[in-house]
Amino acid sequence: MSKTKVLLVGASGETGGSIANGLLENPIFEVHALVRPRSVQKPAIVALQERGVQIIRADLKGPEESLTEALTGIDVVISCVGPAEQQDQIPLAKAAKKAGVQRFVPCAFITVAPAGGIMWLRDEKETVYNHIKQLALPYTIVDVGWWYQLSYPRLESGRADYAMTSANNEIVGDGNTRLALTDLRDIGRYMARIIVDDRTLNKMVLTYNTVMTQNQIYDLLEELSEEKVERNYIPEESVYTRVLAARQSSETYPFDPIKFIPRYLAEYQLSWGIRGDNTPEYAKYLGYVTSKELYPDFEPVDFRDYLDTVVRGTAKGVYTDRMVSKVYQRSFNRTESSDSLYTRIFPRAESSDSLYMTNR
Ligand SMILES: NC(=O)c1ccc[n+]([C@@H]2O[C@H](COP(=O)([O-])OP(=O)(O)OC[C@H]3O[C@@H](n4cnc5c(N)ncnc54)[C@H](OP(=O)(O)O)[C@@H]3O)[C@@H](O)[C@H]2O)c1
């Protein structure tokens, strides 16, 4: 039987890395990675090449003909680009249509949320989905809830800092809102099933391992670490105030996606923390099928086991390859633009500052 040829965009990133692993575990796939020329020497890409991934040099911002050429003969395209790069997928989708790709998986991979003014990031992604539908390109949209790796707060002792990107020390509202959670490492294992499943064609899928509240996450971390974690509740009104302020300061000309980082973080808090959008029930209401219905035999990483590795010091951190930018940042005064250098997804906040301070 011939292999399914999958082309991954964003293989050097966090989501893309998980998906590459999930596909490489399964011999039915022939894995290709579209990598911009400046990134082909990145250790993550070199390592994937050594594991059999075929590297195609191309840039989403490059000529559409070279994208069409890169996609010729590919069965499935999966895109995992960062929040600021969502619109760059439109030429990719056009090229996929021209090249006869059988399934296009645009970069979703976020929490469940409705379209239309709740979350800028969701709406950025929806613009791409609309283009795909206008092209009548076969698609699957996959959201994953909140990563385990971003869900837990900092421990006062500092022993979880090695695995964290920000201190994450805010409980939204009363902390009793339910959240769908997935281990980042399971995303690739789910994808290996989803992209060859006829039931997911032209559908939205929510993968999730478990559903918990922030208070339950804090309780579990306290139990496993035997440390007390301060509960810093952010009332609903403060979240609305943040959202309004972030919306006002992001709507400037010319368009600057970096200014949207505080905005989408505040809007995340609004969506999953206050509105309670990120649940399997709301996903089903919106028309998603869930991984629990599709794959009842799937054995995900257990959240307790994951948190236990965090506490024991053996978890793998996320975005650790962005450390170099933190070093860069130390020699400059903090400004909005230098902040944006140390990570694409987390803004400077009092909480993240304190974490970076402890790392110095
Ligand atoms: N559910 C959650 O909890 C959660 C958490 C974080 C992120 N996310 C979502 O997951 C998605 C992926 O985020 P991530 O953090 O995994 O991404 P990431 O680590 O920042 O990686 C982005 C990837 O896109 C590639 N890329 C960017 N522009 C490109 C271009 N013009 N041509 C070719 N490749 C390009 C980058 O390649 P280079 O190596 O060349 O830079 C990199 O491999 C995001 O859209 C975000 O919304 C969800």
Looking at the annotation, which residues are catalytic?
125
Return the minimum-mean-pLDDT range out of 18-22, 54-58, 266-270, 332-336: 332-336
357 pLDDT band (50/70/90 cuts)?
A: very low
Tokens at 221, concatenated: 């971390």
What is the 51 CA–ligand 1 centroid distance (Å)?
21
The string of pLDDT tens digits covering residues 283-295 is: 999 999 999 999 9
How crowded is residue 51: how many other Cβ atoms within 10 Å of its Cβ?
10
Distance CA 245, CA 255 (A): 17
Q: What is the structure's pLDDT at 257?
A: 79
Q: Which residues lie closer than 8 Å to 284 by C-beta, 6 or more apart?
A: 290
What is the 1 CA–ligand 1 centroid distance (Å)?
32
Tokens at 67, concatenated: 């994208």
What is the 237 CA–ligand 1 centroid distance (Å)?
31
Contact 17, 10 (CB under 8 A): no
145 pLDDT band (50/70/90 cuts)?
A: very high
Ligand 1 site, CB within 6 A: 9-16, 36, 39, 42, 59-61, 80-83, 85, 88, 107, 109-111, 121, 144, 146-147, 150, 344-345
Contact 210, 183 (CB under 8 A): no
For ligand 1, atom 20, name the residue with the nearest CA: 82
Q: Which of 214, 207, 218 is nearest to 183 (CA)?
A: 207
337 pLDDT band (50/70/90 cuts)?
A: very low
pLDDT > 50? residue 91? yes
Pairing between strand 29-35 and 4-9? parallel
Average pLDDT over residues 118-146: 97
What is the 12 CA–ligand 1 centroid distance (Å)?
8
* DSSP label of 325: H
Q: What is the structure's pLDDT at 96?
A: 98
With the most atoms of ligand 1 within 8 angstroms of its CB, the residue from 9, 61, 67, 80 to mutate is 80
For ligand 1, atom 37, name the residue with the nearest CA: 10
Q: What is the structure's pLDDT at 119?
A: 96
What is the 359 CA–ligand 1 centroid distance (Å)?
24
Write down the residue that tokens 């399997």 correspond to. 280
pLDDT > 90? residue 344? no
Higher-confidence residue of 331 and 37: namely 37
For ligand 1, atom 13, name the residue with the nearest CA: 82
Quote the mean pLDDT of the chain.
89
With the most atoms of ligand 1 within 8 angstroms of its CB, the residue from 7, 8, 14 to mutate is 14
Q: What is the structure's pLDDT at 167?
A: 84
Distance CA 17, CA 40 (A): 14
251 pLDDT band (50/70/90 cuts)?
A: confident
